Amino acid sequence: MKQIEVEIIKQSFGKEGIAYLDGKVVFIPFSLKGDKLLIEIVEDKKDYSTGKIIKIITPSKLRIKPVCPNFSICGGCHYLFTNYSEELEFKDEIIRNFSSRYNMPEDLIEKTIPSVKELNYRSRINLHITVSNDQVQLGFYEYSSHKIINFEKCFLISDKMNTAIQELKSNLNKNIRFLKKITTTLKEIQVVEYSNNEIIIAFNIYREYKELNRDYSEFTRELIKKSSNISGAFFIDHYKNSFKRRFISGNIKFYYKIDFKDVTYKFQVTPPSFFQVNLDQINNILKIIYSNLEQFNDAVLLDIFGGVGLFSLIFGKYFKKVFLMELNRSALYDAKENLNLQKNTKILSGKAEKSIKVFRPVDKGKTVAIIDPPRPGLGGKFIKELNRLKIDKIIYISCKPSTFFRDLDYLSSHYDVKKIQPIDMFPKTYHIEVIGILERKNSSKNSVS
Ligand SMILES: C[S@@+](CC[C@H](N)C(=O)[O-])C[C@H]1O[C@@H](n2cnc3c(N)ncnc32)[C@H](O)[C@@H]1O
């Protein structure tokens, strides 16, 4: 295969650096702006190519030695080869590039808010598992493959979580016969560290073998007995999305504590419910939301894609009425628990696309929507519903800039974009969270009921 010399010009929103060959974009995984590289083209498409590094001819001046020996093999981290300040500049540039594609004025875009912690910030990880030569392989997938990296230490989680994972691995290795029987139904293992530093292991299974019930129970009991860093363990049965928790062992308290404005809020978050993984950074999201709620006392709040009720619980007291919309059964179970004392709040279970249709606009009062969708974003149909309801203010939180800017573009026919605030929830990875503040054009008095 032909080898070519290129220079990396910028970073992509992904794991790659970008070079140009005869005007065509070439994405090269794990390359950094300023690198001079010898590459091979591995895929040549009409609009772009993908290359792989054969040799670094001259490394970028921005390169530093990665702390992790698995960097560039593991699919988990993408920015361990440069300083955090550079990573933030890349993230700023990526957001500016998205906005210019949609002709949005640059002065709307704030600089990315750095994460409180650069490393050891994750409170939850999902590990893949397999058995090979009677030995457990437990870890993340290698970049662009389903081969598991059996890591000894991950730099994105706490020392305690790392120790717990090694204890778990050693226990799994002692139960290899049982593990082999269930391995095809055991899809992933979730390791969660709660606010009291207690670590819970959730084994996600997609089918349960009833004849092994005693083995499942014995396994979780043994695990807790033998591991000083693991407080609780159980299996989650995903069959037909039932999320049944089975064979629970240990002392399990599923609580995160979030302090905001001198109040400590407690959230029940039972795996596999969604919750922000970077707990210290949640406060920065809350501050942005809070600073945009001032003039909305006594309005209606729509907490769309509301999860376990993070925003409904913290901001509910500023509103006359709160509606939380959520689909996931496990998150709904937690939201009911978290919001049971909040009398002004109603939970609408099911697809938000459907729930939103029950509202109608009325001519009195105001409505705010906090919208925090999964990666696919909202799309045209959903945005039509928001337009129909004449919502006064939209706070749009997104974990995928490409769908975020697409949706802002749709929304801009009825809404003025006031501010775009990137916030780093996932240092050392390419992911970027963005918050958009939108106000209805010529907002007259309108509310929903
Ligand atoms: C990014 S999370 C945000 C959760 C919450 N706002 C928080 O910050 O904790 C997105 C949530 O949307 C839920 N979800 C996904 N698709 C949905 C849909 N079509 N309708 C309603 N909720 C959905 C997921 O279960 C998840 O809880």
Residue having the nearest C-alpha atom to atom 15 of ligand 1:
374
**244 and 392 both lie in a single domain:** no
Low-confidence winner among 117-121, 166-170, 238-242 (lowest mean pLDDT) = 238-242
pLDDT band with cut points at 50, 70 and 90 for residue 255: very high
Task: Kindly give the distance from the C-alpha atom of residue 118 to the centroid of ligand 1, in angstroms, as a whole number.
Answer: 26
**pLDDT tens, residue by residue, 33-86:** 999 999 999 999 999 999 999 999 999 999 999 999 999 999 899 999 999 999
**pLDDT tens, residue by residue, 233-245:** 999 988 777 788 8
**215 and 290 both lie in a single domain:** no
Q: CA 267 to CA 163: how far, in whole Å?
A: 25
pLDDT tops 80 at residue 139: yes
**223 and 148 both lie in a single domain:** yes
SS3 252: coil
pLDDT score for 444: 54
Q: CA 409 to CA 400: how far, in whole Å?
A: 14
**239 and 305 both lie in a single domain:** no
**188 and 313 both lie in a single domain:** no
Measured in whole angstroms, how far is the alpha carbon of residue 202 from the centre of its chain? 18
**Residues for the chain: how many in total?**
449
Helices of type H across 150-306 = 159-174, 176-182, 213-226, 279-291
pLDDT tops 50 at residue 407: yes
**208 and 149 both lie in a single domain:** yes
Burial label, 177 (beta-carbon count in 10 A; 0-12, 13-18, 19+): exposed
Task: Kindly give the distance from the C-alpha atom of residue 400 to the centroid of ligand 1, in angstroms, as a whole number.
Answer: 14
DSSP 161: H
Q: CA 392 to CA 296: how far, in whole Å?
A: 9
Residue having the nearest C-alpha atom to atom 1 of ligand 1:
374
Q: CA 275 to CA 266: how far, in whole Å?
A: 13
Ligand 1 atom index nearest CA of 274: 27
pLDDT band with cut points at 50, 70 and 90 for residue 445: very low
Q: Is residue 69 included in any domain, yes or no?
A: no
Instruction: Tell me the best of 123, 305, 330 to mutate to test the pocket of ligand 1, counting ligand atoms within 8 Å of each CB and taking the most.
Output: 305
**pLDDT tens, residue by residue, 258-306:** 999 999 999 999 998 999 999 999 999 999 999 999 777 789 999 999 9
Residue having the nearest C-alpha atom to atom 7 of ligand 1:
307
Q: Is residue 354 included in any domain, yes or no?
A: yes
Nearest CA to 270 out of 222, 313, 316, 232 is that of: 232
pLDDT tops 70 at residue 321: yes
Domain range for 308 is 280-448
Task: Kindly give the distance from the C-alpha atom of residue 357 to the centroid of ligand 1, in angstroms, as a whole number.
Answer: 17
pLDDT score for 196: 84
Please say whether the beta carbons of 213 and 237 come within 8 A: no
Characterise 145 by phi-psi region: left (phi > 0), alpha (psi -120 to 50), beta (else). beta
Task: Kindly give the distance from the C-alpha atom of residue 333 to the centroid of ligand 1, in angstroms, as a whole number.
Answer: 13
Task: Kindly give the distance from the C-alpha atom of residue 326 to the centroid of ligand 1, in angstroms, as a whole number.
Answer: 6
**pLDDT tens, residue by residue, 45-57:** 999 999 999 999 9
Domain-ending residue, one of 23, 39, 63: 63
Query: Look-up: residue for tokens 């990875």?
Result: 429
pLDDT score for 350: 97
Element (H, E) at 206: none
Helices of type H across 19-119 = 84-101
Burial label, 123 (beta-carbon count in 10 A; 0-12, 13-18, 19+): buried
**232 and 285 both lie in a single domain:** no
Task: Kindly give the distance from the C-alpha atom of residue 153 to the centroid of ligand 1, in angstroms, as a whole number.
Answer: 30
Instruction: Report, as an integer, the average pLDDT of 244-249.
Output: 89
Ligand 1 atom index nearest CA of 373: 10
- The CATH number of the domain holding residue 349 is 3.40.50.150
Ligand 1 atom index nearest CA of 303: 6
Residue having the nearest C-alpha atom to atom 26 of ligand 1:
307
The residue with greater pLDDT, 422 or 387, is 422
Instruction: Report, as an integer, the average pLDDT of 181-195.
Output: 91
Kindly give, in sequence order, each residue whose CB lies less than 8 Å from that of residue 303, ignoring residues fewer than 6 positions away.
309, 311, 312, 322, 323, 324, 325, 370
Please say whether the beta carbons of 397 and 369 come within 8 A: no
Q: CA 379 to CA 147: how far, in whole Å?
A: 35
**202 and 344 both lie in a single domain:** no
Task: Kindly give the distance from the C-alpha atom of residue 365 to the centroid of ligand 1, in angstroms, as a whole number.
Answer: 27
Please say whether the beta carbons of 274 and 259 come within 8 A: no
Instruction: Report, as an integer, the average pLDDT of 372-380.
Output: 96
Task: Kindly give the distance from the C-alpha atom of residue 152 to the centroid of ligand 1, in angstroms, as a whole number.
Answer: 32
Q: CA 199 to CA 166: how far, in whole Å?
A: 13
Residue having the nearest C-alpha atom to atom 25 of ligand 1:
328
- Around ligand 1, the residues with Cβ closer than 6 Å are 274-276, 305-307, 310-311, 325-328, 331, 351-353, 372, 374
Query: How, if at all, do strands 24-29 and 10-11 pair?
Result: unpaired
For a pLDDT cut of 90, what percent of the chain falls above it?
Answer: 84
Residue having the nearest C-alpha atom to atom 13 of ligand 1:
305
Q: CA 52 to CA 28: how far, in whole Å?
A: 6
**296 and 356 both lie in a single domain:** yes
Instruction: Report, as an integer, the average pLDDT of 176-181.
Output: 90
**57 and 156 both lie in a single domain:** no
- The CATH number of the domain holding residue 45 is 2.40.50.140
**pLDDT tens, residue by residue, 326-368:** 999 999 999 999 999 999 999 999 999 999 999 987 767 899 9
Q: CA 272 to CA 202: how far, in whole Å?
A: 8
**292 and 374 both lie in a single domain:** yes
Quote helix, strand, coil % in the chain, to nearest 5. 30, 35, 35
Structural tokens at position 85 = 């300040």
Number of domains in the chain: 3
Measured in degrees and rounded to the nearest 5, phi and psi for residue 309 equal: 100, 20
